[in-house]
Structure 1
Amino acid sequence: MSTASMAQGTALPVPLPWSGLLALSTAAFTAVMTELLPAGLLPEMAPALGVPEARIGFLVTAYAAASFAAAIPLTALLRGLPRRPVLVGALLGFAVSDAVVALSSSYALTFGARLVAGCTGGLLWAMLVGYAARMVPAERRGRAIAVVLAGITLALSLGVPAGTALAGAMGWRTAFGVLAGLAVLLVG
């Protein structure tokens, strides 16, 4: 820093807390992947669950509807709790839901797991931007939020196609297993 800027009281900007922001961005990535992956796997999932492809599409709808219905009530219910345990709980919710989908041979059980994942997703979306904003000073909030929400763009542009390709190569259950593992890694 130059002597002139020190004399004027200007300080270097506070660096972004990259590890925390990237963890939140990866959580956003995981949420979008969990939500949309069945759309790319309709032909593979339908025979394994004994239903027509159109019913697999309802697995995406179930997630979205549960996310919408749960976001406000769950956020209000958990508002007074410390942020980290709530975030860890949401990530564990994704891990369990994705693991159940990976292992299930029952459409009803898979549908139920997708409802749980949707509730978890609604809670996560309600938390992410606020968490990112609280991690940095006011003048850095826009950048922090942009880093976190970049996980959405990555999931849509790279993640869903990569997940579909992985499912094509190794089976759709593997793709959901990888998502479950990613959520567990984020908890760590």
Structure 2
Amino acid sequence: MDRFEAMRAFVRVVDSGSFTQAARQLGLHKATVSQQVMALEATLGVRLLTRSTRSVVPTAEGLAYHRRACTILQQLDEAETELRQGGQAIQGHLRVDVPVAVGRLVLAPAMREFLDRHPGLSVELGCSDRVVDLVGAGVDCALRGGELPDSGLAARRIGQLRFVLCAAPRYIDEHGLPQTPEALAGHRQVGYLSGATGALRP
């Protein structure tokens, strides 16, 4: 027996004066409401209601229990409402780690609007292209690119990022435009170091 559901059924029966009305209000079958009240009486070891073919009247014990039950159910409903409302508002301190370019070009410009929408939240934004030990550094969430190594961390793909090979027009005028990937070996490059290995990415 669900004690709170049985208590709620009992209160509805007393308030409405009818098992039929209580069942309609609760969206249950009349037999279900009757069983809940009988189970409650059996658990408490007292008769809460005096039943007749025409009416349902609370006993003296039933009236006393009804007063207490109303208070308890009201407090329970208020507590659940507070939790639901509190769950909708984001609060607390969030530590985030992202690559430098993403932090500078994407997150930093959007941060003010984000914080205005969530005034109960503070964000500590770390920007680094090095691999950070999220657990050891106390980071709550991070944005990473490429294939993730196996770990116990939860991950979700949020999009695709394309790398583009670029050259300044002046450089092309002076050194020519490479026509194949192999031809890049003969050109000067600004490389990108892997945050995981520290080696120059090809």
User: What TM-score bracket applies, with the shorter chain setting the length?
Assistant: under 0.3
Q: Which has the higher strand share?
A: 2
Taking structure 1 as the reference length, the TM-score comes to 0.23
Q: Which has the higher helix share?
A: 1
Taking structure 2 as the reference length, the TM-score comes to 0.21
Q: Which has the larger radius of gyration?
A: 2
* Structure with more contact order per residue of length (Cα contacts < 8 Å, sep ≥ 6): 1
